[in-house]
Amino acid sequence: MKIGVIGVGALGGYYGGLLSRAGLDVHMVLRSDFGVVRDQGLHIDSSNRRISLKPCIYDNPESVGVCDLVLVCLKTTANGQYKDLIAPMVGKQTTILCLQNGLGNYEKLAALFGDEKIMGGLCFVCLNRVSPGVVKHQGFGKIVIGQFTRVMDNRVTKITSLFKDSAIPCTFTENLEEALWEKLVWNIPFNGCGVAAAAGWDSMELGRLPDELGAPWATDQLLCDPVWSDCLKQLMVEIIKTAKIKGIILKSGLANRMIDNTRAMGAYRASTVVDFEKGNPIELESMFLEPLRQAKEAGAHTPKLDALCVVLKKLASYLPRS
């Protein structure tokens, strides 16, 4: 199976790297890191080991050609480039596995390439790209995959096995929407509050930014602060209740398990925090505004999510547009 990876930052570098290390036919498309990875290789640092490899890399998707499987690991701020970046690797039999954060991505891909080609994957993993060609793996790593159409076929089991055989924990689900909302229970509070903390708690209550911003916060800082910790929990409750109104029943005790696991992991800078620190566009639309939109359509009461989105929209105005 020929596998293409588009978006080789933390996510694409980690999963693409592990698939490549397992001996699979992996072809990675890089942009800013191309020269460094070409000369120095790709490195994955975990708590007890470093994986170093020289993957098969390209600086454009046309050079890769048609693949059997394309992993979409782009930041959702790059979704406007879907057609240019992905189409050269897509043929009649290609499956597109979207591993991006948030809501609305599968629908956009399906509109371009057809419902039947799209599969979704939720990556429950803590990663950062710490420098060009270097990915730090801080914890977890499981992928949950499913088909956009909910019509299961042998591609699901085949791709699940492909990940498992590469030492990547992977399961499949018949309810992709449930997995999406489960991940939002962590992503919205820790990514959103981590960035909003740069504006201080008053910004959440008043809806305006201070004259000067501080630094965004890591997960341990949020959990150690009584006010922000309470906000995390309230956001989780709002997301779980929204999912329930939409007919999606998430596992009992999910929020507490996520908080306990995050606390045990120690300091972690969520992806949106890292993007904000670097002055890069944040994944505002897919991770925050689309979930808020769906909450409103469902009639859910989400005061903390409302306030968080107001602050994040104001903070995003300080950043360049993708």
Burial of 271 (0-12, 13-18, 19+ CB in 10 A): buried
pLDDT of residue 319: 75
Check: CB of residue 300 under 8 Å from CB of residue 242.
Answer: yes
Which pTM does this prediction carry? 0.94
pLDDT of residue 320: 67
- The secondary structure of the chain in percent helix, strand, coil, rounded to multiples of 5, reads 50, 20, 30
CB atoms within 10 A of CB 260: 11
**CA–CA separation, 313 vs 322, rounded Å?**
15
Give every CB contact of residue 188 below 8 A, 6+ residues apart in sequence: 235, 239, 287, 288, 291, 305, 308
Q: Where are the domains of the chain?
A: 2-174, 179-316
**CA–CA separation, 184 vs 281, rounded Å?**
19
Residue type, 264: A
Instruction: Say if strands 50-53 and 42-45 run parallel, antiparallel, or are unpaired.
Output: antiparallel
pLDDT of residue 321: 60
* DSSP structure class, residue 88: G
* Multiple choice CATH, 179-316, 1.10.357.10, 1.10.1040.10, 2.40.50.140, 3.10.129.10: 1.10.1040.10
**CA–CA separation, 149 vs 48, rounded Å?**
40
Question: Same CATH topology for 2-174 and 179-316?
Answer: no
| Angle of helix 176-196 versus helix 303-316 axis, rounded to 10 | 60
Domain 2-174 belongs in CATH node 3.40.50.720: yes
Q: pLDDT tens across 137-154, in order?
A: 998 999 999 999 877 788
- Residue 123, SS3? strand
Q: pLDDT tens for the chain, 322 residues: list them.
A: 999 999 999 999 999 999 999 999 999 999 899 999 999 999 999 988 899 999 999 999 999 999 999 999 999 999 999 999 999 999 999 999 999 999 999 999 999 999 999 999 999 999 999 999 999 999 899 999 999 987 778 899 999 999 999 999 999 999 999 999 999 999 999 999 999 999 999 999 999 999 999 999 999 999 999 999 999 999 999 999 999 999 999 999 999 999 999 999 999 999 999 999 999 999 999 999 999 999 999 999 999 999 999 999 999 987 766 5
Per the DSSP assignment, residues forming a β-bridge with 147 are: 119
Check: CB of residue 159 under 8 Å from CB of residue 145.
Answer: yes
Residue type, 1: M
pLDDT of residue 196: 98
